[in-house]
C-alpha cells in the first residue's frame, strides 16, 4: 500500500453523513442514533475504520487477510470491549465477540483506504425519530423511553435437517405496546440480525401509528436462506421457533405476520404449533390461508396499498396513475401486485427487477404476460418482450414514479443525485398494514369491503400526514414520523407513563 500519507483524506479522515467528523481515524458522538463510538488502532495495511452498530460497512480494503484487535466503545451503552477482527477477501468481517457482522466491500479500490460510512437501518431509523421528536419538542426522558424496545428475544433453533442437523438463531423484538397489542412480520433471510430486527420493529410502530391502526410494532426473523431448505425443513424450523416464543406472543400481546421469505403456509405452521399450547387460536397470525380463517384480499393488499398511496400522492399534484411511467424495483408479492394494479389503472410499467435480474421496455411491459413468465420461470430474467438491464442502473433510469419494493437502503447519498424519477414510493418492508383487515372476532369481509377499508385508511393517513407537513414545515418523511411519534407519545402519556 506504500507509505502513510499523513493528512491525506482517503486514509486519515472519517466521514459520517458526508461530513468530516474527526481526523486521524477517530469518531465520537453522543447521539443515540449513532449508538457507538468506535476506535480502531490498526497499523499497517488497514489503518482506519468507522462503523455504526453491527451493520457497519466500509469500502476499505487491501490486505488478503489481516487480524488485529479492535476496541469498541459505546458512550450510550456504556461499555468498552476488545475484539479480534479478521478481514478476508470475501468481504466477511468476523469478530470474536460476535458484536459486529458482515459488511459490504463494494466500491473499494486497490489504490488505498478510501473510506465510506453507510448508516445501518437502526441508526437511520433512530435519526429520523430524533428529528421528529425535536419538531414535536418531546420531553427528553419520554424520547429515550420511546426508543427502547419493550422486549427483545433471541433464541436458538436447532432442527434435524434432511442430511443432518443445524442450528439457527431466531429473533423477535416487541417495540411498543402503548397502543394495545403489537404486530409485525417474521422474515427468513440470511442477513437477519438484531440491528435489522430492532430497526424494523421500531418502523412498524411508526408506520402503524401513522395509519392510525390500533397496534404497536414488532418484528422477528431467523437468519437462514429459505431457498436452501426443503419444505419439511422449513416446517420444522418454524415449529421450533414457535415453541421458543409461544409464551411471549398472543392475540392480545403480539401477532406475527408474513414478511420476506415467509408466506401463508408459514403462518399456518405457526398457528398450528401455537394452538398446541393455547388451544385453537386463528387470530394469533395474519396472512394465513383463507381456509384457516384468513382474510380475503390479503395477498394483494400491500400492493393495493401501494396503488392507493401513489394515487393520493399524484392527486396532490393534479396527476393520476393513467399515463405515468413506472419503474418497480422488486417483483415479489408487493411489486408484482403493484405492477398488475398499476397496469390495470392505465399506468405504463417500463422496467422491473428482482433477484434474477432486471428488464425494460420503453413502450411499456406486458404485465399480464410478465406475471405468467415469472410464475413459470421464478423470475423476470429471460422475458422475451423486453431487453435486459443492469440491475444497478435500474434506479437511475428516467421515469415518472419509482417504486421501491425490495430491500431497504437502496437509495443512498452515492446515487440519490442520479435518480431521475419525479416521485418515489417506498413499498419495501411493508409500509402499509392491511393485515389489520383480519380481526380477533373472526369476521370475514368480502374483497370489496377489504379494499374499501384499505383505501379509507391509506387516503385518510395521507391527509393526516400532509397536515403534519404543513404544521411543522417539513417533508413527507418527517410528516409521517411526527404524525406517528406524536400518536404513540400521547398514548404512552395517557396510560400513565412517568419520567
Other Cβ atoms closer than 10 A to 271: 22
412's grid cell: 443512498
Could you tell me if 389 and 353 are in contact, meaning their C-beta atoms sit under 8 angstroms apart?
yes
For residue 102, the Cα-to-chain-centroid distance in whole angstroms is 17
CA distance 37 to 80: 9
128's grid cell: 429520523
At how many degrees (to 10) do helices 333-344 and 298-316 cross?
60
Could you tell me if 268 and 275 are in contact, meaning their C-beta atoms sit under 8 angstroms apart?
no
Cβ within 8 Å of residue 284, ≥6 positions away: 249, 250, 251, 255, 256, 270, 271, 274, 275, 278
Count Cα neighbours of 357 within 13 Å in the Cβ-side half-sphere.
15
Could you tell me if 199 and 189 are in contact, meaning their C-beta atoms sit under 8 angstroms apart?
no
Could you tell me if 320 and 310 are in contact, meaning their C-beta atoms sit under 8 angstroms apart?
no
Alpha helices in 164-251 (DSSP H): 194-210, 231-245
Other Cβ atoms closer than 10 A to 105: 19
Could you tell me if 245 and 270 are in contact, meaning their C-beta atoms sit under 8 angstroms apart?
no
Q: Taking CA 221 as the corner, what is the angle to CA 179 and CA 353, rounded to the nearest 5 degrees?
A: 105
370's grid cell: 410478465
- What are the DSSP E strand ranges found in 28-149? 37-39, 66-74, 79-87, 93-95
CA distance 89 to 84: 17
For residue 312, the Cα-to-chain-centroid distance in whole angstroms is 23
| 219 classed as catalytic | yes
- What are the DSSP E strand ranges found in 370-431? 387-389, 401-404, 423-426
Q: Which of 48, 130, 183, 219 is catalytic?
A: 219
Burial 148-160 (b: 16+ CB within 10 A, else e): ebbeebebebebe
Residue where the block lists cell 435500474: 394
- Residues belonging to the active site: 219
Amino acid at each position: 500500500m506504500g507509505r502513510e500519507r499523513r493528512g491525506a483524506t482517503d486514509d486519515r479522515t472519517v466521514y459520517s453523513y458526508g461530513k468530516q467528523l474527526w481526523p486521524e481515524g477517530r469518531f465520537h458522538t453522543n447521539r443515540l442514533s449513532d449508538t457507538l463510538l468506535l476506535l480502531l488502532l490498526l497499523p499497517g495495511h488497514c489503518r482506519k475504520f468507522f462503523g455504526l452498530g453491527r451493520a457497519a460497512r466500509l469500502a476499505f480494503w487491501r490486505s488478503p487477510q489481516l487480524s488485529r484487535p479492535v476496541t469498541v466503545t459505546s458512550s450510550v451503552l456504556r461499555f468498552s470491549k476488545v475484539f479480534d477482527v479478521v478481514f478476508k477477501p470475501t468481504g466477511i468481517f468476523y469478530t470474536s465477540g460476535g458484536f459486529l457482522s458482515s459488511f459490504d466491500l463494494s466500491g473499494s479500490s486497490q489504490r488505498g483506504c478510501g473510506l465510506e460510512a453507510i448508516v445501518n437501518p437502526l441508526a437511520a431509523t433512530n435519526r429520523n425519530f430524533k428529528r421528529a421528536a425535536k419538531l414535536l419538542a418531546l420531553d427528553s426522558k419520554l424520547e429515550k423511553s420511546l426508543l427502547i424496545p419493550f422486549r427483545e428475544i433471541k433464541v436458538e433453533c436447532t432442527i434435524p435437517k434432511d442430511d443432518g442437523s443445524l442450528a439457527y438463531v431466531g429473533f423477535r423484538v416487541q417495540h411498543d405496546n402503548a397502543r394495545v397489542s403489537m404486530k409485525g412480520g417474521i422474515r427468513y433471510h440470511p442477513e437477519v440480525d438484531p440491528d435489522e430486527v430492532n430497526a424494523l420493529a421500531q418502523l412498524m410502530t411508526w408506520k402503524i401509528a401513522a395509519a392510525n391502526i390500533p397496534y404497536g410494532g414488532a418484528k422477528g426473523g431467523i437468519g437462514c436462506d429459505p431457498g436452501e431448505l426443503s419444505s419439511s425443513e422449513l416446517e420444522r424450523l418454524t415449529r421450533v421457533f414457535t415453541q421458543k416464543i409461544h409464551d411471549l406472543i398472543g392475540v392480545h400481546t403480539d401477532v406475527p405476520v408474513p414478511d420476506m421469505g415467509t408466506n401463508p403456509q408459514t403462518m399456518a405452521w405457526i398457528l398450528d404449533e401455537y394452538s398446541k399450547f393455547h388451544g385453537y387460536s386463528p387470530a394469533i397470525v395474519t396472512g394465513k390461508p383463507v381456509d384457516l380463517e384468513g382474510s380475503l384480499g390479503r395477498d394483494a393488499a400491500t400492493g393495493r396499498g401501494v396503488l392507493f398511496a401513489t394515487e393520493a400522492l399524484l392527486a396532490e399534484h393534479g396527476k393520476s396513475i393513467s399515463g405515468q411511467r413506472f419503474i418497480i424495483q422488486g417483483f415479489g408479492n408487493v411489486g408484482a401486485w403493484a405492477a398488475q394494479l398499476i397496469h390495470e389503472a392505465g399506468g405504463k410499467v417500463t422496467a422491473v427487477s428482482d433477484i434474477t435480474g432486471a428488464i425494460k421496455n420503453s413502450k411499456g411491459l406486458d404485465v399480464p404476460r410478465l406475471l405468467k413468465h415469472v410464475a413459470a420461470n421464478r423470475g423476470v430474467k429471460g422475458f422475451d418482450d423486453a431487453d435486459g438491464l443492469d440491475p444497478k442502473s435500474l434506479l437511475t433510469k428516467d421515469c415518472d414514479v419509482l417504486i421501491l419494493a425490495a430491500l431497504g437502503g437502496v437509495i443512498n447519498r452515492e446515487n440519490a443525485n442520479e435518480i431521475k424519477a419525479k416521485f418515489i414510493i417506498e413499498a419495501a418492508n411493508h409500509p402499509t398494514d392491511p393485515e389489520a383487515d383480519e380481526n380477533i372476532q373472526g369476521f370475514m369481509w368480502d374483497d370489496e369491503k377489504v379494499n374499501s377499508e384499505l383505501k379509507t385508511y391509506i387516503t385518510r393517513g395521507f391527509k393526516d400526514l400532509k397536515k403534519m407537513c404543513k404544521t411543522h414545515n417539513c417533508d413527507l418523511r418527517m410528516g409521517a414520523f411526527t404524525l406517528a411519534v406524536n400518536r404513540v407519545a400521547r398514548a404512552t402519556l395517557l396510560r400513565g407513563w412517568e419520567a
